[in-house]
Chains A and B, each alone.
Chain A
Amino acid sequence: MSGEEKTLRVPFLLDTEYRYAVGQYGARFFTELRDHARLMGVRCPECGRVYVPPRPVCGICYRELHEWVEVGPEGTIVGWTVVRIPFIDPMTGEQRPVPYGFAIIRLDGASTSLYHFLDETDERRIRVGRRVRAVFREKREGSLRDILHFRLLEGEDE
């Protein structure tokens, strides 16, 4: 096994910047979000699925997607959690602050779901089926961060 002999560890910080292309579909989505606080998906002409994130092709039908439709800003929680275990965020190399709540959210009108933050960290107050609403930032830059988080709505679950 490890043995009693003390051996050395050699530290190395991997630290690289990447330049990810957002692509046409991402650009359209983020432009709408930034300029109009509107969320958009694309619909498949064959199966009718509305995709968020938007993408060029429906993977199931293998048809090109061109029909943009508005989705949200409300939606339903499909799955959720509250992250309590600290971990190092690969985007910063530092610990990401915990706890934070996040969910898989199906926006109204969308067939697929998005990962995003919830405004809640009390597990007792979150459930599958709860309705949520996107909270948009005042100043938006064209990224998913333009949504601060999703707010749990009171009232009937779906």
Chain B
Amino acid sequence: MMKRLMNIFKKQSDLTTILLFAAGVLTMPIWLDPIGANYPDLLQKFVIFGIFAVGYNILFGLTGYLSFGHAVFLGVGSYTAVWSFKLFTMNVLPAMLFATLISGLIAAAIGFVSMRRSGIYFSILTLAFAQMFYNLAYSVLIPITNGETGLQLRMHDIRIIDNYFSDPLPGLPSTELFGMSMNGYSGFYFCAVVLILAFYVAMKIFRSPFGMKLKAIKSNQHRMRYIGSDTRPYLITAFIISGMFAGLAGALLAVTDPLAGAERMQWTASGEVILMTILGGVGTLFGPLIGVGVIKYLENIFSAINEAVLHNFFSFMPLWAENLLVAITAPFVGEGWHLTLGILFMIIIIFLPGGLMEGFQKIKRRYLTISMKDSESTTKQE
């Protein structure tokens, strides 16, 4: 019985996976409600960073190339989207299209150069490019990026297409999809649909010959070369694809909140996506999404807690114990959320390098072997 069940899971087709996934994502407002994560801002973050991490996983998970510069594409995507809002139309589709294309182009350029080296050299090269973009955004590129203020919509923007069809309304316009405003839940559902599409693409890549090649590169690149397969085009393609995913995510960030700042491109932002991918499980389909969920959820919870909340939480204890516990836990919440994040990250790398997915699998395997032994012993008795 157990075996048959397992077979169903193993043989699940792409279609069932994507349907289950779509159902899971679209019902997020329902099943996240009990844990208090059901509000549009957070839900949007879940899905947008989900796209980012799924894309990053195509590069890092499949090929093992650790890029420290993926935040650049996120930033470029945001800037491009906002510029599209400013110049052409508030419709989100062109913005996303431009953002994906332009970040793809930049990824092609960076990937072409960086992919000439591997290992730590690759990491440093991508880091160098990321810092270059970040620094330029604050100096020479200020006409494009608007420096520290960040790029935002203005009353007197040109908006050629919108203004051609209708007279501009008073006040700042909001992003829309053919008349549907992209605020709140509609924004979330739109991003969720994009995430489902992106996930479908990623799944197809994972299960395609192309994905197999990438996995082969990760396990032994030399051998790939010896059997006469040029790995470089595959690597660059993977880099471009993951860059485009990041650009798309950046565009969606701008769609839900049309403001782009260069801090999105800082290398710590790249560190964050690495963290999410690893926490969930590198190279697994669902892992990065789990990582995003865990980190964004914890970030939301932890950074909102302050000492008053802690006192309230521990108030059932005697006063001295309450004060002691508050004093111990206070550095880890609120402003100190990054401390918790760092510790969590270290624990994962040290004890569970495969991430939470590996943890689940370990538990599952243990459970399965026990239950199989049980069934064997029962058959013998019969």
To the question of whether A and B form a pair in one complex, the answer is no
